[in-house]
Structures are given as structure tokens and as C-alpha cells.
Amino acid sequence: MSESLESSSIHPKIPIILASGSESRKQMLLEAGIIFEVIVSDTDEDKIKSQINSLPFEVQVIHLAKAKAVAVSKTYPDKIVIGGDQMCVLDGKLLHKPGSKEKAIKSLRLLANQKHYQYSGVSIFKEGECIWEYSETVELKMHDLSEGEIKNYVEMENPINAAGSYKFESLGCHLFSYVNGSSHTVRGMPLIPLLNALRDLDVIGLE
């Protein structure tokens, strides 16, 4: 098993740290075969959000992604540090992670049969400096979900820590009538632009 995993993994030329506790971001990097470690930043996100909430959402996610990465990069300056952030927005208002099943149900009631947006930002740091940043937006629309569908979904998936109260990488994909954009971005990280940046920076490659 270990030999199989090793042969299908990409060893970065510079060690990579993911400065995020997001299981979805971690899973995407694993799916891409990247070898990395996770060191979660202790950044006070709520404080930063209160300082930047007048900015466009696509700018806010970059600010937060960079704040997470820089804190870790200063401690590990010789490594590549990736920071990411995501915001779910309905009618110009941020939908926070629900934190409970009751709030998740309430959020999904608001989203049912409505268009909303997922904003995702990612940054790369080395030696405490940002060497790349990127943000992407996806437009989505949910089905006109019944109360039963909403409650059953929340009970099955328990999406209390998910932006938008759904996990698109699993059962959450059944909630949508259309998605205009990358599924990676909906999951919380624009993966292909990130991989391209790591390749351009000569951090990863297939040789």
C-alpha cells in the first residue's frame, strides 16, 4: 500500500505546508498527489473580517488567505506555505458557516431555488512574503428543495462547518440545478490555478 501511494505522489522540490484546517482543501491536494503537511494558522479571522468587510468579496477572500499563510510562513520561512479562504454570498450578504444543524437548515431554506456565489481565494508564501495570489468566483443555483429534502440532507451530511451549509464534494452536489464554474472552487480552493502556480514556481513537476 505504501509503495503504491509513494509511486503516485509528487514530491515537491521545496516542502509544502497547507496553512488551513479545511478537510476539503486537504483532500484536494491529496487527490492531486501532492505531498504536504498541515499547520493550521492561529489567525483571528473574525477580527480581520471586521476590518475588511467593506471590500468586495473577491478581495476579502484574498486578504484572509494571505493572513493565514503569512503567519505560518514567518515560522517556516524555508517552506512553501499555501493559505486559502472561502465565502458563500447570497444577495450580497455573507452566509457564515452554520455551526449547528438548526442554522444549516435555516441557511439552506434561504438558498433553495436561489442563485448564490462562492468566492475562493488562495495564496502562496515563502520567507514571509506573498509570491502568488488568486481568487475565483462560481455562480450556483439550488433546486427548489422541499423542507424534507433540506432536513434529510443536513441529517445525512451534518454540514455545520461548511461555507453555504453544504458539502459539494459529496452529497451536496445533489442540491444544485446548475453550477457555473469550477467544482474545486466550490469546494474551497481553485486547484488548477494553484497547481499551475506551483509548477511555474518550480515547486512541483512530473519529472
- All three cell numbers of 24: 476539503
- All three cell numbers of 201: 514556481
> Is residue 113 a contact partner of residue 142, using CB atoms and an 8 Å limit?
yes
Query: Residue 129: CB partners within 8 Å, gap ≥ 6?
Result: 73
Closest CA to 142 of 164, 162, 121: 164
* Catalytic residue numbers, as ranges: 85
- Whole-angstrom distance, CA of residue 52 vs CA of residue 179: 28
Closest CA to 158 of 198, 94, 105, 89: 105
